[in-house]
Structure 1
């Protein structure tokens, strides 16, 4: 029996997951967006996610993951911790949330199975992984196998951005016809500034560099 052409998208309301959401809308007959409230520093990202889904007819759910905030203190959940602006020589940046992608994808898998959905889509990228070990291809492949074995149900974890950088991610958004939506209506900034962001935090610098590189190419065509 053919599997239903449906997907669950792990959706934060940021640049990468929004690009993946619209990529999935083109590829699958039905798409459900799943966001997580884990006490993140800026709940505004959940508002962005809600708004984008409402305006574009995507079913959207937000799951409570507050326990993660208690277990893994970090600069994305604690206002009294300043975000690392440079990657440390050893270890991970203090913006890394231990176990976040593993837990998000695990809960997304449980959610998907109840709806007879086999495909999970996430916006992680090994090209721009910022030192986060749970954005690597080896982790995604391992978790895909583990989820399938754990639930005796075949999962496929799709990562449209895995091997591309931010410049190419902007190009993808443009080809999907959602460049302006991604640029103006998403929140990537660690300081909670919409769109182009604060320009100073690591997430903004990465996003802006990719945008500038892409616009150089696009504007000279």
Structure 2
């Protein structure tokens, strides 16, 4: 008897009904994804996440009421926090950084082709960071500005708190490596990687792999 693969539970949060319809129609027909609910703002997103515990919350950034930035921070701080990729038309440098620092696991421009949005959701569910090309270019610009130099000093001071092995794990996370890949590279068990990663996140005061990767890149 073949093993049953768990489906990725996805919540779609956007104040535009047409956007919600397009996303739920696109994602709802996939065999490995299940739409568990829809919401129109950040406050509804919090209630939806509490009731249905989605694996991924696809979150619009600019909404009336509780916007995506505040919602991302709230969702990331909750128990069994879902992965929160932000989906928005406004992929400016400031919004990229604000979303990531608020707790989003990634940033997807709304003009991203549908197959790439699906791939991003699967990556987010697997715990991997998600950044559209425009967002990545924005981050590169940020670390080459005077403000980026200040961020570098702050990031280096934080990373000084880590042990050598924790630094190695953090560096692998920043390269986009999975836990299995980190385990192979550093000659650790997968459980050992998870333990080092958990301690690293706690020491640095960051909530997820994306924020850890951002901090490591800031320090370079």
Could you state the TM-score of these two structures normalised by the residue count of structure 1? 0.26
Structure with the larger RCO, 1 or 2 (CA within 8 Å, 6+ apart): 1
User: Where is the helix percentage greater, Structure 1 or Structure 2?
Assistant: 2
